[in-house]
């Protein structure tokens, strides 16, 4: 019995020693592995001596009217010869002789050297010129645009533009809607108080800021208790878009209601109008519009130009003969 106890004690002691050895070996391996990780994260003396790259600085200014690209870049250290190199390298992409006043130019500089130049062309596109090489390169790029569909509706109290502004939108949206319904509504003479409109339009945002309108996808306008609808359709073969009624008929008619998208009537058609200069009553066979200089004027229908030039007191004039006239 005593011999068996001694044998069991020896076995237990041996097993305990084995377990202890395994535990010690495991701890040693773990310590070595952690030491290797710490050693791997330490910077070598060479890496510690590498300085961080200098920050990229941005200089931005708005293009004033009447300035050339040479005059604009001269204060920033660009010599006339360097500007010529930039213009020649950019010419195939964009002619810097036609820089748009009111747009922005951004210059990116690092450690005293200019890296690139950006010129805004419109709210969505910009010209980028890479200046890092002696021979610059250029490309037209686009800002990332976010698009959102918005429902706009309102009532006419004074004018279409005032109603659009009251709905929180800009004048351009009123002109876009007037162009769609210009075949069926004369927005100068046909509007009545409490006429209503409702439209679905795409609004575009760049960096969270409104940048412009996309197309109007659908619109409804009630004028003098008559409702007109318009739905945008893109032809798959040509990519051209037009507007149609709910029944599928085109909104385009033979004649537009007005030659201007939006303006102010100064004198209406009349058989007995007081002449503003001669102060006599005489017929006035037409409608006079007032609009800012440069406002586009369009023919109300297809026809043949019979006269274009200066016509005395009438000033510059274009006469068009329409068919059946």
For residue 89, how far is the Cα from the chain centroid? 26
Helix (H, G, I), strand (E, B) or coil at 199: strand
Q: For the chain, what are the domain ranges?
A: 56-142, 146-244, 264-322
pLDDT band at 3 (very low <50, low <70, confident <90, very high): very low
Top pLDDT among 113 and 295 is at 113
Q: Cα(216)–Cα(199) distance, rounded to whole angstroms?
A: 7
**Percent of the chain scoring above 70 in pLDDT:** 73
**Burial of 212 (C-beta count, 10 Å sphere; 0-12/13-18/19+):** middle
Q: Tokens for 91?
A: 């010419």
Architecture field, domain 264-322: Distorted Sandwich (2.70)
Closest CA to 260 of 225, 233, 295: 295
Distance CA 69, CA 73 (A): 6
Position 250 confidence tier, pLDDT thresholds 50, 70, 90: confident
Asked whether residue 144 carries a pLDDT value surpassing 60, the answer given is: yes
In 10 A of CB 305, how many CB atoms? 10
pLDDT at residue 1 in the model: 47
Element (H, E) at 180: helix 171-180
What pLDDT is stored for residue 99 in this prediction? 86
Give 15-34 pLDDT, tens digit per residue.
655 666 656 556 566 666 65
**How far apart (Å, rounded) are the C-alpha atoms in residues 96 and 118?**
12
Q: In sequence order, what are the beta bridge partners of 41?
A: none
Question: Do 146-244 and 264-322 come out as alike in CATH topology?
Answer: no
The rounded distance, in Å, linking the Cα atoms of 126 and 56 is 19
Note the pLDDT tens digit of each residue in 196-248: 999 999 999 998 889 899 999 999 999 989 999 999 999 999 889 989 998 98
Confidence band for 160, pLDDT divided at 50, 70 and 90: confident
Q: pLDDT-derived band of residue 273, with 50, 70 and 90 as boundaries?
A: confident
Question: What are the distances in angstroms from CA 253 to CA 6, 177, 182, 249?
Answer: 117, 16, 9, 10
pLDDT at 39: 53
Nearest to 201 by CA among 227, 219, 186, 183: 219
Please indicate whether residue 316 or residue 62 has the higher confidence score (pLDDT). 62
Q: Greatest CA span in the chain, whole angstroms?
A: 148
Q: What percent of the chain has pLDDT over 90?
A: 38
Q: How do beta strands 226-234 and 209-223 pair?
A: antiparallel
Q: Which residue is associated with the tokens 């037009």?
A: 242
- SS3 call for 221: strand
Burial code (b: 16+ CB inside 10 Å, e: under 16) for 20-54 equals eeeeeeeeeeeeeeeeeeeeeeeeeeeeeeeeeee
What topology does CATH give the domain 56-142? Nuclear Transport Factor 2; Chain: A, (3.10.450)
For 322, list phi and psi in degrees, rounded to 5. -90, 160
**Following DSSP, what letter does each residue of 65-132 receive, concatenated?**
TT--HHHHHGGGT--HHHHHHHHHHHTTT--GGGPPTT-EEEEEEETTEEEEEEEE-SSSEEEEEE-S
Residue 283: predicted pLDDT: 78
Q: Rounded mean pLDDT of 75-85?
A: 92
Instruction: Report whether CATH 3.40.50.720 matches the domain 146-244.
Output: no
> Nearest Cα to 195, choosing from 204, 203, 185, 205?
185
- Give the pLDDT mean for 55-74: 92
pLDDT at 282: 75
């Amino acid at each position: 019995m005593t011999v068996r106890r001694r044998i069991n004690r020896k076995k237990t002691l041996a097993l305990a020693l084995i377990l202890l050895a395994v535990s010690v070996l495991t701890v040693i391996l773990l310590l070595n592995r952690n030491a290797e990780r710490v050693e791997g994260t330490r910077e070598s003396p060479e890496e510690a001596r590498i300085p961080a790259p200098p920050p990229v600085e941005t200089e931005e200014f708005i293009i004033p009217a009447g300035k050339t690209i040479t005059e604009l870049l001269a204060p920033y250290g660009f010599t006339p010869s360097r500007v010529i190199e930039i213009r020649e390298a950019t010419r195939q992409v964009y002619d810097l002789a036609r820089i748009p006043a009111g747009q922005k130019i951004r210059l990116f500089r690092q450690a005293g050297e200019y890296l690139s130049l950006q010129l805004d062309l419109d709210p969505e596109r910009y010209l980028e010129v890479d200046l890092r090489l002696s021979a610059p390169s250029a490309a037209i790029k686009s800002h990332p645009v976010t698009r959102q569909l918005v429902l706009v509706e309102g009532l006419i109290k004074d004018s279409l533009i005032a109603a659009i502004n009251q709905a929180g939108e800009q004048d351009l949206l009123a002109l876009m809607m007037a162009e769609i319904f210009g075949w069926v509504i004369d927005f100068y003479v046909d509007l009545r108080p409490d006429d209503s409109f409702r439209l679905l339009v795409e609004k575009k945002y760049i960096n969270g800021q409104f940048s412009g309108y996309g197309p109007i996808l659908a619109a409804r306008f009630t004028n003098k208790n008559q409702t007109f609808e318009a739905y945008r359709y893109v032809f798959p073969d040509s990519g051209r878009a037009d507007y149609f009624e709910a029944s599928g008929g085109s909104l385009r008619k033979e004649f537009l209601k007005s030659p201007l998208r939006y303006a102010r009537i100064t004198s209406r058609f009349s058989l007995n109008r007081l002449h503003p200069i001669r102060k006599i009553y005489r017929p006035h066979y037409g409608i006079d519009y007032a609009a800012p200089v440069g406002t586009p004027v369009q023919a109300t229908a297809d026809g043949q130009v019979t006269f274009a030039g200066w016509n005395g007191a009438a000033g510059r004039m274009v006469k068009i003969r329409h068919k059946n006239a």
